[in-house]
Structure formats: C-alpha cells, structure tokens
C-alpha cells in the first residue's frame, strides 16, 4: 500500500535551503512539477551504481503499460498529441497551441486522460476544430505508427473526438459509487469490452477457496476479457499481454542480477524474472517473500503489478516501479524509535490496562529514491508499505519505507511560497517552521507509523471493527496523538531524535494551524469534512482548543479582519494531547461505538463556514498548485576506451517536456492498442 500525500502547501513547511538546486521545473493547470535530488548517490560503490542503472532502465521500459491500463485509448491519444507537439509548424504561441500543450502535459501527469487524483476526465480548452486542423497540418506519414491498418487520418480524428471532448464518454477512471456496475462505469482497462461486474465476480468467486490460508492474489496480473461469449484472462507476461515491454524489463533485470549486492538479492531478482516469464501468481508470492526477507541489501526496488486501487473490485494491479537505496543516516532515527518501542508503550498516558505488555516496533527504513515509473510517476507516494498479500504480511512481515528525498523536495519547493507569511502569526512561528518543520514532520510521521498504530490493545472479546465508519478516524487520531505527545517529551532529546527541547513546538504549531484552519483549503465551499485523516486532524485540534479555552492554551486572534492561531502554553497543550489520547484509546480498547461517533461528529466533521470562506480567499491569493508531480534525474554510464564501465553519472537538467518526449522515443514498447 502506498500512502499518498496530496502535495498541498498547507501540509509541510520547510527547512534550510539546499543551495543552487532548482526544485520547481514546471507549472500548469492545478499542477506544479518538481525535481528531486538523489543525495549520496556518488558515495555508492560502482557495482551499486550499476545495479541502480540497470534497475532504472527496467523501470523506464514499462513506461507504456500504465497508460494502457488506465484506458484503452490513452496510448493512442498520448502519441497523437506528442506527434502534433513535435511537428506542428503553425503559430506555437497561439492560445490554441498553448492549450494543446497544457492538455498534453496533463495527459502525461495523469498517465492518460483522467486526473490522477480526482480520476475525472479533464476536457481540453482548445476546440475540436483546432484539433482537426492541427493534425491535418502535419505530414500524414508522422502518424503511421498510430493508425490501425486501413485507418485514415479522418477515421482517427472521428474515433478520438468523443473520447477527448465529450464529458459523458469515459467520465471516471475508477468508479466507486454504489448501485451501478462498477466495471462498466469505470473507464480503465482491466476488464475487456462487455465484461460485467457480476460476471467478473462469479469468475473469480469460483477460483477462491475459503479454506486456503495462503491464497494467491487472484486476477492480479491479467485483463479479464470476453471472447465469443467466454470469459478468459489475458495474462501480463512474456508472450502474453504487454509482452513487448516485459521482455525489455526482463532484459535489464538479467543484467541487474549480475551485479546484485549478494546472493539473496540475486534470488529476489531471478524470481521476479521467473514471474514475468511465467505469469504464475505462486511464483509472485515466492518472489514477494524473498523480497520482504531481504533487509540487508542497501539497494532495493519495486517492479511489477503492485497496487490494486485502480480496479473497482480491488484485484487487478497497476504496473509500477521505484528504485531506491537506504538512507543510512536517517534510518538510524527509525531504528532508535523501534529499539525503544517498549519504553514508549510503558510511559504512554493511557489507562495501563490498555497498554501492550510486549510491543514490537515495526521495522521501517528511510530511503532515497533513484527513479520513479508507472503508477509512481509523475505523481508519487511519500511512503510505501509492501507486500499487499495479507497472509504474507502476517507470516513474513512487511517493509515500510519513507521516501525522504521526495519529502525534501516538497518542503524545499514550499520555501518562500508565501504560505507561512499569510497564515502564521509572527516571525517566531515562521522561523521555527523554516528551521525545524521538516525535521519534526518526519519524526512525527515515524512515530505515527512505527509506534502509534501498533500501540495499545483491545480488551478481550472486543470486535476490531466495532467503531465501524468512525474506526479509521479514531485510529488515525490515536497514531497522531501518540506522536504528538512524545514529540514534546524530553526522551526524544535524550535519544537524539530532536536537537533540543524547543524544537517540537514547530510541529505543535503546524499541526494546530493545519487542523483548525489551513487544511480547509482542500475542502470545496459549503462541504463538510469526509476524509478520515482530515477529520482526525480537525478533531484533535478543535478538542484541545476547546478543552484549553479557560487556560488560554490556544488562542484564535483577529488581525486586520484576518484570523490567526496562536499557541500560548505548549506544556499544557502536550498534557491535553495526552488526555485525548487516553480518551481515544479507551474508545478503541472497549469498542465504544457511541463514544467514537460522538467525538468524531462533535469535533471532526462540521466546518465553520465563515472561516472556510476566509481561508479559501487567502489561499487563492497565493496562487499555489494543489497537486505536485516529479521529473526523474537522468543516469548515464561512463566508460573507458576499452568499454569498461567506470562510473554512473546522475544529472538533474532535464525539463518536464523533454523527459516525456525522450521516454516516448526510447521506451515506447507497446503497440498503440496492445
Ligand atoms: Zn496512519
């Protein structure tokens, strides 16, 4: 599972600037494109660099796969617009052409014609007439690779127009709305034409054996199609669907195996190759187990059909790849936390009968990502927890990673964007945020993930699902409060997790400001809060505000008609966090549905409409992009005269358009309609 952060500038504030690195690359529609650094790549051994190079190539060879998975017209549309962009000889400064360029940039960002986050189809701002004229102004030969046999350019235009321009055609990538056929109403391509949800459910229902304690992930790596009325799977594998790309991926994986860091890692790579060749889901599980057990290698990777969010039935997986190496210095932080897990549990401010006698800290590492591809690119998660198979997680555990060079890019790009100037009370808060918010954000996330979710226990006989729809908000609040409470504990300084006893204030201020005010920038006017993490943040912030009102712990102040948040007493605030943690743990441990419902509904859901309008107005003035995506660095092999590899160079000078045009040229492995 990947935990996606919406790159909202309200979320993170930044640490000191890394000189001369330009993080922001491009800006269009509701998107800002950033680049990320790969710190310490130079310090890797030549063999490790070579390994990363081969794995990166294996990642990029899958470039086309996710486009086709998202919608069957995506490759055709992407290639048509890339061809227009490259060859158009008309006025490239005209409004129409600028709009066309924006549309192409959005197609790259969404890996198709739907918004990567809302999953709604976006509609171009140029006309159908301009689309037609632009295509016809270009030599027909340029479109040869796109046209189906016997298809004319006019046929192509007629076929694509409704897919691009008609809002009613393929409106939603993955439909989750109840009471309709989820497969027929989803625009993506995991199921062939005419396959209904009921048919797919029966098809896979027959495969599943409820007594199998180690089931494979049925349907994970195939498209379910109907041929002559008969349902069958077309498996993604060598000589199967997407073979042209998978063969190339396997070729690079074979090279990677020759420079693996150790025999275990070599076995991991070889089992993945075996999986790609056979498509066998048993082999996939063997690979996943080997992968999760390899905790010694410095270099690591994900490459395959991994996340199933895109399938409304939650079985079929999107293709993705991510190559990384361990950030040894930052991982010490998560290791310290895990090693002291019992101390934190024993001192937790909850009723002792809800504490765990024996806790196991989750083993988590901090990584530096070297390349992103497929479902991780251009929009990317900031953390990943894999594998997804439940029984493998239960028996062999999982790897939880935080991608710190991505969060660094988010933080750095937010520096000086005007957010702190607009919403923070004074220079004291701004300076604290600038100097320490990156550090405290990361520590809070670590405490939340490594300890918070794993702490506490249910009383015997309590149903883990007793809190029903309020369960995830309560659970997220529990993990957040655990982190908040301990950030202000002298123990974090003693363990070397924070440099001094004042630094935690950056997190407290940022958290309260976000929970009381600035997260409202993500809510549409007039709406209430629905998403669990957002409910949890408002719940915590409003609860401590109200309970601390008499002692003036948190103050809401007006200045020139604008609203600000001030924290007057950090010590008392920490005590309030502890009290709320105790209350929430009680609700969780006893399965108190009514208590959970009351807390969430009272503090976490309703939006102060007047404040909301004000926050939206102030945010709008800043003109910040609500979403962010990335470009990858470029790796090249350096060789001596005899052709031996002497080094791998990483460079950061490629822009968004050039990168996508290069990928389209070098890694276009699939036919337009695979
Ligand atoms: Zn969580």
Cα(472) to ligand 1 centroid in Å equals: 9
Prediction pTM value: 0.86
Cα(449) to ligand 1 centroid in Å equals: 6
Cα(483) to ligand 1 centroid in Å equals: 11
In order of 69, 189, 597, the CA distances from 63 in angstroms are: 11, 16, 45
Q: Which of 284, 324, 319, 285 is nearest to 305 (CA)?
A: 319
Using the predicted structure, report yes or no on whether residue 532 has a pLDDT greater than 80: yes
pLDDT at position 19 is 64
Using the predicted structure, report yes or no on whether residue 102 has a pLDDT greater than 90: yes
Q: How far apart are CA 485 and CA 502, in angstroms?
A: 14
Using the predicted structure, report yes or no on whether residue 22 has a pLDDT greater than 80: yes
Span of 347-356, 457-466, 472-481 with lowest mean pLDDT:
457-466
Cα(591) to ligand 1 centroid in Å equals: 19
Q: Give backbone dihedrals phi and psi of 147, rounded to 5 degrees, phi first.
A: -70, 140
Would you place residue 11 in the very low, low, confident or very high pLDDT band (cuts 50, 70, 90)?
very low
pLDDT at position 12 is 43
Per-residue pLDDT tens for 38-94? Answer: 999 999 999 999 999 999 999 999 999 999 999 999 999 999 999 999 999 999 999
Cα(479) to ligand 1 centroid in Å equals: 6
Most distant pair of Cα atoms in the chain: their distance:
79
CB 556 within 8 A of CB 516: yes
Cα(142) to ligand 1 centroid in Å equals: 49
Cα(450) to ligand 1 centroid in Å equals: 10
Cα(4) to ligand 1 centroid in Å equals: 11
Q: Give backbone dihedrals phi and psi of 234, rounded to 5 degrees, phi first.
A: -105, 110
For the chain, what percent of residues have pLDDT higher than 90? Answer: 81
Separate counts of helices (H) and strands (E) for the chain: 24, 15
Cα(524) to ligand 1 centroid in Å equals: 24
Span of 7-11, 374-378, 596-600 with lowest mean pLDDT:
7-11
- What are the residue boundaries of the structural domains of the chain, listed by start? 416-628
| Total length of the chain | 674
pLDDT at position 378 is 98
Span of 88-102, 356-370, 482-496 with lowest mean pLDDT:
356-370
Cα(13) to ligand 1 centroid in Å equals: 20
| DSSP line for 195-209 | --HHHHHHHHHHH--
Mean pLDDT for 89-116 is 97
Long-range contacts of 167-171 (CB under 8 A, 24+ apart): 167/121, 167/123, 169/121, 170/71, 170/73, 170/113, 170/114, 170/121, 171/120, 171/121
Mean pLDDT for 451-460 is 90
| DSSP line for 250-299 | HHHHHHHHHT-SSHHHHHHHHHHHHHHHH--HHHHHHHHHHHHH--S-SE
Cα(502) to ligand 1 centroid in Å equals: 25
**Residue with more model confidence, 103 or 395:** 103
Cα(118) to ligand 1 centroid in Å equals: 21
């Amino acid at each position: 599972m990947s935990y996606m952060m919406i790159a909202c500038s309200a979320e993170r504030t930044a640490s000191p600037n890394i000189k001369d690195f330009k993080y922001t690359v491009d800006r269009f529609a509701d998107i800002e494109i950033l680049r990320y650094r790969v710190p310490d790549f130079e310090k890797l051994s030549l063999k490790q660099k070579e390994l990363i190079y081969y794995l990166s190539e294996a990642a990029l060879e899958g470039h086309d796969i996710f486009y086709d998975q998202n919608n069957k017209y995506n490759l055709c549309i992407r290639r048509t617009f890339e061809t227009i962009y490259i060859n158009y000889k008309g006025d490239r400064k005209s409004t129409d052409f600028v709009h066309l360029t924006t549309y192409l940039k959005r197609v790259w960002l969404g890996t198709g014609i739907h918004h990567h986050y809302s999953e709604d189809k976006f509609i171009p701002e140029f006309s159908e007439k301009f689309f037609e004229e632009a295509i016809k102004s270009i030599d027909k030969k340029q479109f040869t690779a796109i046209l189906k046999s016997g298809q004319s350019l006019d046929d192509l235009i007629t076929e694509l127009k409704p897919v691009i321009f008609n809002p009613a055609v393929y409106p939603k990538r993955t439909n989750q709305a109840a009471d309709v056929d989820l497969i027929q109403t989803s625009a993506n391509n995991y199921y062939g034409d005419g396959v209904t949800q009921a048919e797919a459910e029966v098809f896979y229902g027959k495969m599943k054996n409820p007594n199998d304690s180690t089931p494979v992930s049925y349907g994970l790596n195939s498209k379910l199609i109907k041929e002559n009325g008969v349902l069958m799977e077309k498996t993604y594998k060598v000589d199967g669907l997407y073979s042209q790309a998978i063969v190339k991926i396997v070729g690079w994986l074979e090279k990677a195996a020759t420079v693996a860091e150790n025999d275990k890692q070599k076995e991991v790579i070889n089992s993945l190759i075996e999986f790609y060749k056979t498509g066998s889901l048993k082999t996939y599980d063997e690979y996943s187990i080997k992968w999760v057990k390899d905790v010694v290698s410095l270099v690591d990777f994900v490459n395959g059909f991994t996340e199933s969010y895109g399938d409304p039935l939650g079985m079929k997986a999107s293709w993705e790849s991510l190559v990384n190496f361990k950030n040894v210095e930052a991982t010490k932080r998560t290791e310290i936390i895990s090693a002291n897990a019992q101390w934190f549990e024993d001192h937790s401010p909850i009723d002792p009968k809800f504490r765990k006698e024996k806790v196991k800290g989750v083993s988590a590492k901090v990584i530096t990502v070297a390349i992103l591809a497929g479902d991780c690119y251009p929009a990317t998660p900031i953390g990943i927890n894999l594998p997804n198979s439940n029984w493998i997680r239960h028996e062999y555990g999982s790897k939880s990673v935080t991608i710190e060079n991505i969060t660094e890019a988010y933080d750095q790009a937010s520096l000086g964007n005007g957010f702190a100037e607009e919403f923070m009370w004074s220079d004291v808060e701004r300076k604290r945020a600038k100097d320490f918010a990156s550090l405290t954000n990361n520590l809070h996330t670590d405490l939340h993930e490594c300890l918070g979710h794993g702490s506490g226990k249910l009383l015997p006989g309590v149903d883990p699902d007793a809190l029903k729809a309020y369960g995830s908000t309560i659970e997220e609040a529990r993990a957040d409060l655990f982190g908040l409470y301990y950030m202000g504990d002298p123990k974090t300084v003693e363990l070397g997790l924070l440099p001094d006893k004042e630094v935690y204030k950056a997190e407290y201020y940022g958290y309260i400001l976000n929970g009381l005010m600035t997260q409202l920038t993500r809510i549409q006017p007039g709406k209430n809060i629905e998403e669990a993490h957002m409910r949890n943040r408002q719940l915590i912030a409003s609860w401590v505000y109200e309970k601390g009102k008499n002692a003036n712990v948190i103050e809401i102040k007006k200045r020139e008609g604008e609203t600000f948040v001030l924290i007057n007493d950090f010590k008392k605030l920490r005590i309030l966090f502890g009290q709320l943690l105790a209350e929430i743990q009680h609700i969780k441990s006893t399965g108190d549905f009514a208590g959970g419902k009351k807390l969430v509904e009272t503090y976490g859901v309703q939006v102060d409409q007047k404040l909301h309008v004000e926050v939206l107005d102030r945010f709008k003035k800043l003109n910040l992009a609500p979403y962010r995506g990335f470009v990858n660095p470029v790796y090249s092999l350096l060789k001596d005269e005899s052709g031996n590899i002497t080094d791998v160079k990483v460079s950061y000078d490629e822009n968004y358009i050039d990168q996508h045009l290069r990928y389209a040229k070098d890694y276009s492995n699939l036919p337009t309609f695979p």
